[in-house]
Amino acid sequence: GPIDFHSRGLDIYRKVPKDLTQPTYTGAFISICCCVFMLFLFLSELTGFIATEIGWQSRQTCALPPHDAC
């Protein structure tokens, strides 16, 4: 019908050539490296956040007398 014709014209996802969708070892290696890198970034941000929270609490306790307890 006429609705089918218009919906095909508005398709934003074009057909990808078959040779670009075949899995390769290079693509798998790059994907694994990216996942490991993202995990590293997430964990480094998480440990930085946790260390900042702990550091803030310890500074608050050190600000109280006696000062030689720090």
Q: In the 3-class helix/strand/coil scheme, how is 4-43 assigned residue by residue?
A: HHHHHHCCCCCCCCHHHCCCCHHHHHHHHHHHHHHHHHHH
Residue partners of 69: CB distance under 8 A and separation at least 6: 62
**Strand ranges (DSSP E) for the chain?**
none
Per-residue pLDDT tens, the chain, 70 aa: give them.
555 555 556 677 878 888 888 999 999 999 999 999 999 999 999 999 888 755 555 555 555 566 555 5
Omega prior to 66 cis, within 30 of 0: yes
